[in-house]
A = this chain, B = another copy of it.
Amino acid sequence: MKALTLHGVEDVRIETVPDPSLIDPTDVIVKVTLAAICGSDLHLYHGAIPGLLPGTVIGHEYVGEVVEVGAQVRRFRPGDRVVGSFHVACGTCPACLRRDFNVCVNGGTFGYGLGFGNLDGTQAQYARIPYADTVLRHLPAGLSDEKALFCGDILTTAYGAVVNSSLQPGETVAVVGCGPVGIMAVQAALALGAGRVLAIDLVPERTALAERLGAIPIDSSKRNPVSMVNQLTGGEGADVVIEAVGGTRTLALAFDLVRGGGRVSAVGITAEESFAYPLNIALVKDITFRIGVANIPRHMDATLALVAGGRIDPTVVVSHRLALEEAPLGYKLFAERKASKVLLLPHV
């Protein structure tokens, strides 16, 4: 089959590799009908993630059709249209039994190398999906591949961050960063009952998109976001801040934006080892802080229902639809910020 493989820094290629086959009885083989390039794939592209052998198939966002199922697979049959979580979880360890699928002891991420379960990626014509009963979902009738795809990764990641913030109806949510994940957070916050979403970014096109989706834009290249948020909230600050950038500076900003008794939920993944947690501020303001990798299998049914019901349209961030063969171009455009979201069609 054809697949996108990583060979070095900024060196991705379309190659012919062996078709995947069932290994464990909980596996299924999926014919990938749609894949996508995620922001976290850029870390691989830039060589920031150790543990990838040259030629590794990468990618972890996908929708497809089941073509083969292992002997212990109970929920899926060949022909089923499915969307899958970017990370896998066994479904039977103590963490999974608690539904903490993101800390599964047998977990892993597709196409992320030896440190993440050594699983081949999904930017390919076919993929082997371990623990299918736990990590796959049927597509609701009538739902397009494009809309479903986001439920396996960035929409559900952002949604989980909003859920983790214990958002109460009518509250004001500030979203720091309006890239694709931030845009998902804007939509998730609105769908989950936010009274207002304040969308903060340095790039006017990004805040403009957030505004079209119902947010109040704050262009932080021109205005101090802290003073803007204070002004809009009577000096109190936001009830909830969703950090969707991934950096210690934006984390620190989040603590300045949040009101007393508020919550900071960080969805941006940062490579920093630690962060100077502002104890003096947090003590006085009584802040709840959460950061962690997403728990897709836990929240995926809800995001699929919200997308299927038309409450959230994740495809607003899509800028490019390319054949899988053109994926190297897609990576280049994405890395150069000339693409906001690149979808890949493996079978055209």
Q: Name A residues whose Cβ lies closer than 8 Å to a Cβ of B.
A: 26, 71-72, 74-75, 91-92, 94-95, 97-98, 100, 102-103, 133, 159, 163-164, 168-172, 190-196, 214, 234, 236, 248, 259-261, 269-270, 272-280, 282-293, 295, 301-306, 308-311
**A302 to B193 Cα, complex, angstroms:** 9
Q: Give the residue of B72, B289, B295 whose beta carbon is less than 8 angstroms from that of A288.
A: B289
Contact of A282 among B72, B284, B291, B304 (CB under 8 A): B291
Residue from the list B172, B274, B304 in contact with A170, Cβ < 8 A: B304
Taking CB atoms, residues of chain B closer than 8 Å to A303 are 170
Please, could you name 6 A-B residue pairs with CB atoms under 8 Å apart, sorted by A?
A95-B236, A95-B260, A169-B191, A193-B311, A287-B291, A288-B289
Q: How many monomers of this protein are in the complex?
A: 4
Q: Are B234 and A94 in contact (CB under 8 A)?
A: yes
Q: A273-B279, A279-B272, A288-B164 are in contact. Are A171 and B305 (CB under 8 A)?
A: yes
Residue of B nearest to A272 (CB): B279
Residue pair A74, B195 in contact (C-beta under 8 Å): no
Tell me, rounded to whole Å, the shortest Cβ–Cβ distance linking A95 to chain B: 6
- Chain B min CB distance to A40 (Å): 12
- Could you say which residues of chain B place their CB within 8 Å of the CB of A192? 169, 192-193
The answer to whether A280 and B286 touch across the interface, beta carbons within 8 angstroms, is: no
- CB-based contact A195/B308 at 8 Å: yes
Q: How far is the CB of A339 from chain B (nearest CB, A)?
A: 26
